[in-house]
Amino acid sequence: MIKKILVIHGPNLNLLGEREPGVYGNMSIDTLNSNIIDRAREQGLECEIFQSNHEGAIIDKLHAARTAFDGVIINAGAYTHYSYAIRDAIAAIKIPVIEVHISNIDAREEFRANSVIAPVCRGSICGLGFLSYYLAVQAMAEL
Protein backbone atom coordinates (compact mmCIF):
# COMPACT_ATOMS: atom_id res chain seq x y z
CA MET A 1 0.00 0.00 0.00
CA ILE A 2 1.33 3.44 -0.94
CA LYS A 3 1.71 5.90 1.91
CA LYS A 4 -0.24 9.13 1.37
CA ILE A 5 0.98 12.47 2.67
CA LEU A 6 -0.55 15.91 2.77
CA VAL A 7 1.46 19.12 2.45
CA ILE A 8 -0.22 22.22 3.87
CA HIS A 9 1.00 25.70 2.98
CA GLY A 10 -0.35 28.43 5.23
CA PRO A 11 -0.89 32.15 4.78
CA ASN A 12 1.02 34.14 2.18
CA LEU A 13 2.79 31.12 0.76
CA ASN A 14 0.68 31.51 -2.37
CA LEU A 15 2.91 34.55 -3.04
CA LEU A 16 6.18 32.62 -3.15
CA GLY A 17 8.49 34.04 -5.78
CA GLU A 18 6.98 37.50 -5.33
CA ARG A 19 6.98 38.02 -1.57
CA GLU A 20 10.32 38.96 0.00
CA PRO A 21 12.51 36.92 -2.36
CA GLY A 22 15.53 37.70 -0.19
CA VAL A 23 13.91 35.69 2.59
CA TYR A 24 11.75 33.17 0.69
CA GLY A 25 13.55 32.80 -2.64
CA ASN A 26 12.42 33.24 -6.22
CA MET A 27 10.62 29.94 -6.76
CA SER A 28 6.87 30.11 -7.33
CA ILE A 29 4.50 27.99 -5.29
CA ASP A 30 3.55 26.08 -8.45
CA THR A 31 7.17 25.12 -9.07
CA LEU A 32 7.68 24.23 -5.40
CA ASN A 33 4.55 22.06 -5.45
CA SER A 34 5.69 20.27 -8.59
CA ASN A 35 9.09 19.62 -6.99
CA ILE A 36 7.47 18.33 -3.78
CA ILE A 37 5.25 15.95 -5.76
CA ASP A 38 8.27 14.70 -7.73
CA ARG A 39 10.26 14.13 -4.52
CA ALA A 40 7.33 12.30 -2.96
CA ARG A 41 6.96 10.07 -6.01
CA GLU A 42 10.70 9.28 -5.88
CA GLN A 43 10.19 8.20 -2.25
CA GLY A 44 7.21 6.01 -3.18
CA LEU A 45 4.67 8.41 -1.66
CA GLU A 46 1.41 9.80 -2.94
CA CYS A 47 1.19 13.52 -2.18
CA GLU A 48 -1.62 16.04 -2.05
CA ILE A 49 -0.93 19.74 -1.57
CA PHE A 50 -3.22 22.34 -0.02
CA GLN A 51 -2.74 26.07 0.51
CA SER A 52 -4.94 28.45 2.45
CA ASN A 53 -4.70 31.88 3.97
CA HIS A 54 -7.54 30.98 6.35
CA GLU A 55 -7.00 29.38 9.75
CA GLY A 56 -10.33 27.53 9.75
CA ALA A 57 -9.67 25.97 6.34
CA ILE A 58 -6.30 24.69 7.58
CA ILE A 59 -7.94 23.23 10.68
CA ASP A 60 -10.65 21.56 8.58
CA LYS A 61 -7.99 20.06 6.29
CA LEU A 62 -6.03 18.75 9.30
CA HIS A 63 -9.18 17.14 10.71
CA ALA A 64 -9.93 15.46 7.37
CA ALA A 65 -6.31 14.28 7.12
CA ARG A 66 -6.65 12.01 10.14
CA THR A 67 -8.48 9.37 8.10
CA ALA A 68 -7.21 10.11 4.59
CA PHE A 69 -3.43 10.48 5.03
CA ASP A 70 -0.52 8.77 6.75
CA GLY A 71 1.22 12.04 7.61
CA VAL A 72 1.22 15.80 7.16
CA ILE A 73 3.92 18.32 6.34
CA ILE A 74 2.86 21.82 7.37
CA ASN A 75 4.25 25.28 6.90
CA ALA A 76 1.72 27.19 8.98
CA GLY A 77 3.30 30.55 8.12
CA ALA A 78 2.53 33.21 10.70
CA TYR A 79 0.00 30.89 12.37
CA THR A 80 3.04 28.98 13.64
CA HIS A 81 3.59 31.65 16.25
CA TYR A 82 0.14 32.06 17.74
CA SER A 83 -2.51 29.62 16.48
CA TYR A 84 -3.41 27.42 19.40
CA ALA A 85 -6.35 26.21 17.30
CA ILE A 86 -3.98 24.76 14.65
CA ARG A 87 -1.80 23.40 17.45
CA ASP A 88 -4.80 21.61 18.97
CA ALA A 89 -5.86 20.24 15.57
CA ILE A 90 -2.39 18.78 15.05
CA ALA A 91 -2.43 17.22 18.52
CA ALA A 92 -5.87 15.72 17.86
CA ILE A 93 -5.21 13.92 14.59
CA LYS A 94 -2.76 11.26 15.82
CA ILE A 95 -0.76 10.99 12.58
CA PRO A 96 2.80 12.29 12.24
CA VAL A 97 3.09 15.98 11.40
CA ILE A 98 6.35 17.64 10.41
CA GLU A 99 6.63 21.43 10.69
CA VAL A 100 8.65 23.15 7.95
CA HIS A 101 9.79 26.69 7.29
CA ILE A 102 11.76 28.08 4.38
CA SER A 103 13.56 30.65 6.51
CA ASN A 104 15.31 30.12 9.83
CA ILE A 105 12.59 31.28 12.21
CA ASP A 106 15.10 31.37 15.08
CA ALA A 107 17.30 33.89 13.25
CA ARG A 108 14.53 36.34 12.40
CA GLU A 109 12.36 38.67 14.48
CA GLU A 110 11.98 37.62 18.10
CA PHE A 111 8.27 36.77 17.77
CA ARG A 112 9.04 34.29 14.96
CA ALA A 113 11.32 32.20 17.17
CA ASN A 114 8.36 30.84 19.12
CA SER A 115 6.47 28.00 17.47
CA VAL A 116 3.33 26.98 19.33
CA ILE A 117 2.89 24.01 16.98
CA ALA A 118 6.39 22.51 17.36
CA PRO A 119 5.63 20.69 20.64
CA VAL A 120 2.87 18.65 18.98
CA CYS A 121 4.76 17.96 15.74
CA ARG A 122 6.93 14.89 15.19
CA GLY A 123 9.75 17.19 14.12
CA SER A 124 10.63 20.61 12.69
CA ILE A 125 12.85 21.56 9.77
CA CYS A 126 13.64 25.22 9.09
CA GLY A 127 16.15 27.53 7.53
CA LEU A 128 17.13 25.36 4.59
CA GLY A 129 15.04 27.09 1.96
CA PHE A 130 12.96 24.76 -0.17
CA LEU A 131 15.17 21.87 0.92
CA SER A 132 13.21 22.02 4.21
CA TYR A 133 10.19 20.62 2.35
CA TYR A 134 12.21 17.99 0.48
CA LEU A 135 13.82 16.73 3.69
CA ALA A 136 10.39 16.53 5.32
CA VAL A 137 9.17 14.39 2.41
CA GLN A 138 12.15 12.07 2.87
CA ALA A 139 11.47 11.89 6.61
CA MET A 140 7.81 11.00 5.97
CA ALA A 141 8.92 8.15 3.73
CA GLU A 142 11.11 6.79 6.50
CA LEU A 143 8.69 7.21 9.43
pLDDT at 135: 97
List, in order, residues 6 or more apart from 52 with CB less than 8 Å away.
8, 9, 10, 11, 58, 61
pLDDT at 111: 67
Q: Give the mean model confidence (pLDDT) for residues 28-42.
A: 96
Indicate the DSSP class of residue 87.
H
Options 3.40.50.1370, 3.40.50.1980, 3.40.50.9100, 3.40.50.10420; CATH of 3-142: 3.40.50.9100
pLDDT at 70: 96
Q: How far apart are CA 2 and CA 8, in angstroms?
A: 19
The string of pLDDT tens digits covering residues 87-131 is 999 999 999 999 999 987 776 667 667 899 999 999 999 999 999
Establish whether 82 is a catalytic residue.
no
Indicate the DSSP class of residue 16.
T
Percent of the chain with pLDDT over 70: 93
CA distances from 75 to 2, 40, 133, 142 (A): 23, 17, 9, 20
Establish whether 9 is a catalytic residue.
no
Looking at 9, 24, 79, 133, which residue is catalytic?
Answer: 24
pTM comes to 0.92
Looking at 9, 79, 101, 133, which residue is catalytic?
Answer: 101
pLDDT at 18: 83
